Amino acid sequence: MRTITATRYVTPLREGGSLPAIVEADDDGLYVLKFRGAGQGPKALIAELVAGEIGRALGLPVPEIVFVDVDPLLGKAEPDPEIQELLERSVGLNLALDFLPGSVMMSPATFAPDPERASEVVWFDAYVTNVDRTPQNPNLLVWHKRLWLIDHGASLYFHHTWDNPAQLSKLAFPRIRDHVLLPFATEIAAIDPQMRAKLTPDLLTAIVETIPDSWLGDHLEFLTLDEHRAAYVTYLTDRLAAADNFVQEAVRASLA
């Protein structure tokens, strides 16, 4: 994972509940910055990081994810007090996705994805329990006639409470019935074996290891940061072992 420094606040993206923004960085690139000081705090960034990198490991098109250092001076020239306060709360390490200029939000009325790709996205979202891929809010961009996956901060919702993750890992995901790509996802059962095979324990461990220390340690259940990370790995591997549950639920929903 690369780490960059935000050098200029360009514009807020007010359609996002957590008020993400386009920023320029010290590599001259533009990025969509997700702030640690926003509503859900570091957990939304952890979900964005872990789910996004799992999606990439599955071969899905996810914009590059980078760590972004926010300097205290970045918000000094910002006239909007809400944005200035958000920048002040987010000083330090944040997360961003590469900005895709000219991209548009995917609409089923104008873009019909390939059934295999649609099935892969549905499988992935059921695995990471992503509740935020609905027709009202697809979080799918079309860029150069290709589908791109963004905004995974609402995934892995179990980690907001850590209330019996062992049980939650085995549950189906009924909300997959609301997935924007479900009408196109006719190959869920067919792609299931290859999706499972790509997510090895070593890969999941390596992804979880990228979570910064400063985003962890806010739960009394865990005595150490290593223990906290290990709990993520255990959940993800347990959920994969019980994949029949969410796969069968997704197949049923696609046939309904």
- What is the total residue count of the chain? 256
Dihedral sign, CA of 108, 111, 115, 121? negative
- Distance between CA atoms of residues 170 and 213, nearest Å: 28
Residue 219 sits in the same domain as residue 159:
yes
What is the predicted pLDDT for the residue at 14? 67
| Cα–chain center distance at 182 | 19
pTM over 0.85: yes
Buried b (16+ CB within 10 A) or exposed e, 207-234: bbeebbeebbeeeeebeeeeebbebbbe
What is the predicted pLDDT for the residue at 220? 79
Type of residue found at 49: L
Residue 63 sits in the same domain as residue 111:
no
Domain boundary at 39, 69, 98, which?
Answer: 98
Run of H or E residues at 190: helix 188-198
Q: Print the domain residue range for 21.
A: 3-98
Residue 127 sits in the same domain as residue 208:
yes
Residue 219 sits in the same domain as residue 120:
yes
Written as tens digits, the pLDDT of the chain (256 aa) is 999 999 999 999 866 556 899 999 999 999 999 999 998 899 999 999 999 999 999 999 999 999 999 999 887 778 888 889 999 999 999 999 999 999 999 999 999 999 999 999 999 999 999 999 999 999 999 999 999 999 999 999 999 999 999 999 999 999 999 999 999 999 999 999 999 999 999 999 999 999 999 999 878 789 999 999 999 999 999 999 999 999 999 999 999 8
Comparing CA positions, the residue from 66, 249, 54, 223 lying closest to residue 152 is 54
- Distance between CA atoms of residues 163 and 133, nearest Å: 24
Beta-strand ranges (E) seen in the chain are 3-12, 21-25, 30-34, 65-70, 92-98, 104-105, 140-143, 146-149
Residue 136 sits in the same domain as residue 93:
no
Count of domains observed in the chain: 2
What is the predicted pLDDT for the residue at 75? 79
Domain boundary at 42, 66, 98, which?
Answer: 98
Residue 156 sits in the same domain as residue 230:
yes
Residue 119 sits in the same domain as residue 218:
yes
Residue 33 sits in the same domain as residue 122:
no
Comparing CA positions, the residue from 22, 8, 51, 34 lying closest to residue 93 is 34
Residue 224 sits in the same domain as residue 114:
yes
Q: What angle do CA 35, 130, 176 make, to 5 degrees?
A: 155
Residue 219 sits in the same domain as residue 166:
yes
Comparing CA positions, the residue from 233, 163, 207 lying closest to residue 55 is 207
- Distance between CA atoms of residues 129 and 51, nearest Å: 9
How far is CA 29 from each of CA 53, 67, 133, 142, 211, rounded to the nearest angstrom? 20, 13, 27, 20, 23
Residue 184 sits in the same domain as residue 251:
yes
Run of H or E residues at 194: helix 188-198
Domain boundary at 98, 114, 135, which?
Answer: 98
250 contacts 185 by C-beta, under 8 angstroms: yes
Residue 32 sits in the same domain as residue 76:
yes
232 contacts 208 by C-beta, under 8 angstroms: yes
